[in-house]
Amino acid sequence: MATPTESDKRLLQVIVTLTEDSQGRPPTLAEIAMAIGYPSSSRGNVQRQLTRLRPTYVDWMDGPRSLRVTPSGLALLSIKPLEENIDLPLPEAILCLLASGLTYLTNDIAEGKPLHVPFSQAWQRGVNILTAECLLRDVDPPMHLHAALAWCRRPLGEWPVHFRIPPMWLNEALLDKDDQPTSLCREYALTKCDAELETCQNTMLKVLSEAKKNRAPHAYVAFRQFLIEHPVVTDDELMKCSFDAQIGTLGSYLTDLYERVPTLVVEQGKVLLCGFCGWTLQRSHGRLHCGDDRCRILTGDFIHCVIRELRTAPEHLQRVRRAIRRYVVAPGIYEIKTAQCLDTLGITAELWPGYDAYDIRIVFPDRTVWAVDVKDWRFPHLLASHLTPLECHGNLTWDRALYVIPNQRVQEMPGYLDILRNATSEQAFSILTINDLIEEARRYKEQCHA
Contact residues: Zn ion, CB under 5 A: 274, 276-277, 279, 290, 295
CB of 274 to Zn ion, least distance (A): 3
Entry field: residues in the chain: 450
CB of 332 to Zn ion, least distance (A): 12
Find out whether 26 and 19 touch, Cβ atoms under 8 Å.
Answer: yes
Q: Which is nearer to Zn ion, 181 or 248 (CB)?
A: 181
Helices and strands counted in the chain (H then E): 21, 15
Q: Which is nearer to Zn ion, 123 or 279 (CB)?
A: 279
Phi, psi of 177 (to 5 degrees): -65, -25
Q: Which is nearer to Zn ion, 31 or 187 (CB)?
A: 187
How many angstroms separate the CA atoms of 403 and 390, rounded?
A: 9
CB of 276 to Zn ion, least distance (A): 5
How many angstroms separate the CA atoms of 59 and 80, rounded?
A: 18
CB of 23 to Zn ion, least distance (A): 43
How many angstroms separate the CA atoms of 290 and 279, rounded?
A: 7
CB of 265 to Zn ion, least distance (A): 12
Q: Which is nearer to Zn ion, 305 or 357 (CB)?
A: 305
CB of 191 to Zn ion, least distance (A): 24
Q: Which is nearer to Zn ion, 73 or 291 (CB)?
A: 291
Q: Which is nearer to Zn ion, 247 or 317 (CB)?
A: 317
Rg (CA), the chain: 25
The alpha helices in 88-216, defined as continuous H runs, are 93-110, 121-136, 145-153, 183-190, 195-213
Find out whether 130 and 162 touch, Cβ atoms under 8 Å.
Answer: no
Q: Which is nearer to Zn ion, 192 or 296 (CB)?
A: 296
User: Which residues contact residue 130 at a Cβ distance below 8 angstroms, ignoring those fewer than 6 apart?
Assistant: 90, 94, 98, 141, 142, 148, 161
How would you class 32 by CB atoms within 10 Å of its CB: exposed for 0-12, middle for 13-18, buried for 19 or more? buried
CB of 327 to Zn ion, least distance (A): 13
